[in-house]
Structure formats: structure tokens, C-alpha cells
Amino acid sequence: MKQDNIRNVAIIAHVDHGKTTMVDRLLGAAGAFRENQRVEERVLDSNDQERERGITILSKNIAIQYGDVKINVIDTPGHADFGGEVERVLNMADGALLIVDAFEGPMPQTRFVLRHALALGLRIVVVVNKVDRPGARPDEVVDAVFDLMVELDASDEQLDFPVVFASAMNGYARYAADDGNMDMVPLLDTIVQQVPAPDCEPSGPVALQICTVDHSSFVGRIGVGRLYSGTMHKGEQVLVIKNDGTRYNTQIKQVFTFQELGKVEVEAAGAGDIIAVVGVDDADIGDMVTNRDNPIRLDPIEVEQPTMSVVFEPSTSPLVGREGDIVGGRQLRERLMKEAESNISMRITDAPNSTGMEVAGRGVLHLSVLMETMRREGFEFQVGRPQVIIKSDGHGGKLEPIEEATVDVPSEYAGKAIEVFGTAGGEMVDMFQRGEDTHLMFKIPSRGTMGLRTRLLNATRGEAIMFHRFSEYGPYRGEFGRRKNGLMIAKENEKSVAYALDTLQQRGRLFVGPGVDCYEGMIVGESAKEGDMVVNVARTKSLGNQRSSSADKAISLTPPISFTLEEALEYIEDDELVEVTPQSIRLRKRLLSAIDRKKANKS
């Protein structure tokens, strides 16, 4: 039976194609904000890191009341590292708005999320966004989307997709790119007409599959999912069927439905709606909450496995405890196990041969977002170089994750870009001209993508635009692309002095400025030559009783290089660590003592 007064629709797109801004405009068009209400841009990107990075990290649910129809909208991340969020929330939807930039067209992440949406049989509505952008080519982009859907084996029904042209920034949607309409009504009408109403059994036994887990410090875990059949009542006795097949009985304490930007508590929620429930204490992704007497079990939610791992350890730095409140190994383990409960796309286990925890995720950005969250919570810890997860091919060979990378670069720098990818194990699979730019496609090992963006931007004078996403596991491609330059390593525990740094900056690039606490084994710069060197950052000028001709000469220091978490993780080698504190990101050697490092190198 169709619930004609409900539509469940996900918004999918490549990063920065305008999903979250589009949601802002839909909320405004449906009257979710008062006329005099001050509304921030990208209102759904409520997480601090989402606002700072300008990307969506966590999927969000909102609801728009349009006439008699309630439209549940699921905003999803656009970056490939957060694909686990996309894969599971698509299970709640019957249709998807595929937002594509009118200039850039379909990009790598468009392919990734579209493949999952088509496999689930969702009705696709193509929204060509940014039609007001200079150089926009909306008709060509629609053709490119059609070609992509054919390539991804879309059904004939899915290929007959409706198209809406829009400018989310200017708040309008149109049936034709130049028809002059200046509101969002065409898009809302298209959703109601083209996205199918949820097919469900309102009078059947209760069946809710949990797709997202929220957490509240007041009520604990909150399971969010789509109610496939029945009516869920507050206080109802239900059966929970876990992913591993175990079962137990519990009582639903609270039921919520989504309304505009928040949740509202209700006494009962009907089939077809997206709801949230409190009472399943260990709610997990894929769990079924169903009728005790007539249980229903749906297919488990499968999420692609992580491809990269890193080991979190308690900090062993001489400066430990100066900046962070939480430094113990036990607290670090508890925090990571709590993360494992709600983050289905991460795999967190005790690290073999180590006091730390091994955290496996989709990529360096995925892992660094967790680190950034923890350092803001007051944690102090250290992490090693990210390692790709190697698999066996069953015949004694090794398989490693291979990424598909696309690069748009001015034609004059295309040769430089190809050279950079070649040194990182990349293999070019396609190349064509697009206006004044050259579009390049590569297959490259995940190992090769670490630090690649920085090298590419340096080689192309900041002109290249690169995206990459996991493609498949392929044959191991051997060793390549190690760092050629040596490092400057602090000799002892001292504050850095401008006089010493002035001498050192002539021999390479510095990572610290004057007056910074340093310790033996801390990396303070990069040498211009190969081979590490131990340096004294606290050396001061020896003073005699005669006035020197250069005594009053001002010291001029080049600003030190500061690393973001992702850059630090991509920079270090296997014998080095990144020390993460609420205030600092430091690089250090795993063995702090120069004598210990020499012994290790000999052995």
C-alpha cells in the first residue's frame, strides 16, 4: 500500500556541487523559517568541522511539509571518505536528487553514490545546479549524466529521469534553464510527482530497520530508520534482532518523527515514515526492531570495507600533559570503542604488538576528522603513518586498494601532472580536452595518494583540481615515492631560539618558530639534502667583551611551515609519529634518542 502523503528522498552529489545549500533553499521555500529569522548559510552543516572544511561529514534528516505531503530529505556527504554514511542512509529513501554542477558535470563521487542509488532501485531526479555560473553547459551535462547511468547499468525506467535546472545560491529551480522562474516550486513539484510514495503495510507487524545511530547524553543511543510496516507506539514491547542473529525483548521509551530541522516526540508513528526511537540500548546499524509475535527480518545493510588504517597510542612525548586533559591509554581506548559503536564505516580493534588501538577507515581525511574531533575534546595522543590494508589474492600474491583519480589542469601543466602521478605509481587511463583545461584520469594505489595533492599543486602552480575515490583491489605495485629529503631533528629538550633558527633556515625549511618548546627526537625542519641531521635549536650567540660589527643586525626568519593533520599524516614515514594535542600538531621520531636510532638502523 502506498503512503501518498510521504516522500523519502536522499540528496546525493559530488563534494561542493551544492547539496547543503539546496536543502537551505528547500526549507526556505516550504516556510520553515520566519520572515525575520536570521539563518546561517548551510544550516545543516552544524558540526564545527563541517563549517570549517566546507564539507558535509554526517548525514542529516530533515522534513519539509509541502501542501499535504511530508517530504523527508536526507542530506548526505559528498566526499568519498564518508561513503559509508551514504551507503546506509540510501536504504531509507525511495528516490534521490542527483545534484550535478552545470559546469563540471558528473565527477568521481557522482559515480560512486549513483551506483549505490541505482542498485537500490531508487528513482533518480537530476538537478543541474549552478546554471548561472559562467561557462555553464547544462545540456551537455544532462547528456553526460545519461551516459554515466547507461555505463552503470541503469534500468530503462531509471534512464527516463526528470531534469530540473537550478541555482541554489540564487534560490530558483526551473524546468528549462532559461524559463525565468525565480522560486523553488518546480523542484518541490517534481519531487512530489516523480519520487514514488513509500510502499508499506500500515496494518502489518512493526518492522523498523536502523540505518543511523544518534546519541544523546540524556537518553543514550537513538536508533533512526525507516518504518517499513505497522505503527510504532510509545511504550510498545518489541523484539530486537541484531546483525549477528541474537535477539532480545525491549520496550520503546520514546518515538520521534522529523519536522523541519529537528525531531518532535509523538505517541505513534505510521509506516513509510522515517522515525527515531529510544529504548534500544545497544542500537546498531542494520538492527531490526520488530513485532514479538510476528517478527520480520530484512536484508542486512552492507557497507564497503575500510582501505586504510592507523594506530592511535597514548603519547610518550616529554611534553605530555601540558596541553591536553585526557592522556591515559584507558581513556583513549574507551573513546575509540565508543566511536566504533556509532561509526559503521570505521573498524576499531586492539593493535597487535602495541599498546594502542588500530583504527581503519576510508582514507586520510576520514581518519583525520576523528583525530580532530578527539583533540577538541581534550585528548592528547600520538599516531603513526597510515597503512593501506593489504589482501591476499589466494595464490601467494598481494592485492592493494587502487583509487580512481581525476585531474583538471590547464593544458600547459598537463605534462607536469602526468609526471607527478607517474612517480606515485599512477597509470593514466584517459585524457581529453575540456575548453582550455585538460581532463586526466588515472588508476593509482591508495599509498600513492598520500601527499600527492601537495606535490601536484606545487608542480602546477596551484592550478590543478584533483579528486580521487576507491575503485577496487588490484595487484601490489611495489615500492615507490619515498621522501628524498632528510630531516632536522632536535638535539635536546629546550625552547627554540631565533639565533639558532637563523642558521638552520639556510640549510632547509623550518617547522618551528622561535620560543617553541622542543624535545630530543622532535622534527623541527626538513633538510635540503638527503639524510637526517641532529641540530641544536637552542644555540645562542657567544658574547665577548668587544662590540661586534654585526651585533645589531636584525634576524629575519622565514615563517615556519605549519601542517594540518592530513598533511602531517601524509608527510611522515614509518619510523615517525604525529603527536596530536588540543593546541599543537608536532612531528617526532618514534625513537627519540639519536643513539637508539643509530642502533635500530644497524640492526
- Annotated binding site for GTP: which residue ranges? 16-21, 129-132
Q: d(Cα 192, Cα 30) in Å, to the nearest integer?
A: 13
Q: 72, 258 in Cβ contact below 8 A?
A: yes
Residue 157: how many CA atoms within 13 Å on its side-chain side?
Answer: 8
Q: What is the DSSP string of 146-184?
A: HHHHHHTT--HHHHS--EEEEETTTTEEESSTTS---SS
Provide the b/e sequence for 385-418 (b: ≥16 CB within 10 Å): bbebbeeeeeeeeebbbbbbbbbbbeeebbebbb
Q: 201, 78 in Cβ contact below 8 A?
A: no
Q: 496, 524 in Cβ contact below 8 A?
A: yes
Q: d(Cα 475, Cα 309) in Å, to the nearest integer?
A: 19
Q: 419, 459 in Cβ contact below 8 A?
A: yes
Q: 32, 231 in Cβ contact below 8 A?
A: no
Reported as type and span, the H/E element at residue 19 is helix 19-29
Provide the b/e sequence for 75-99 (b: ≥16 CB within 10 Å): bbbbbbbbbbbbbbbbbbbbbbbbb
Q: 158, 118 in Cβ contact below 8 A?
A: yes
Q: What share of the chain is helix, strand, coil (3-state, %, to 5)?
A: 25, 35, 40
Nearby residues of 548 by Cβ (< 8 Å), 6 or more positions away:
none
Q: 409, 349 in Cβ contact below 8 A?
A: no
Binding residues: 16-21, 129-132
Q: d(Cα 494, Cα 539) in Å, to the nearest integer?
A: 10
Provide the b/e sequence for 237-254 (b: ≥16 CB within 10 Å): ebbbbeeeeeeeebebee
Radius of gyration of the CA atoms of the chain, in A: 27
User: What is the grid cell recorded at 326?
Assistant: 585526557
Q: d(Cα 96, Cα 184) in Å, to the nearest integer?
A: 17
Q: 378, 324 in Cβ contact below 8 A?
A: yes
Reported as type and span, the H/E element at residue 4 is none
Nearby residues of 408 by Cβ (< 8 Å), 6 or more positions away:
104, 434, 437, 438, 439, 440, 464, 465
212: exposed, middle or buried (C-beta count within 10 Å: 0-12, 13-18, 19+)? Answer: buried
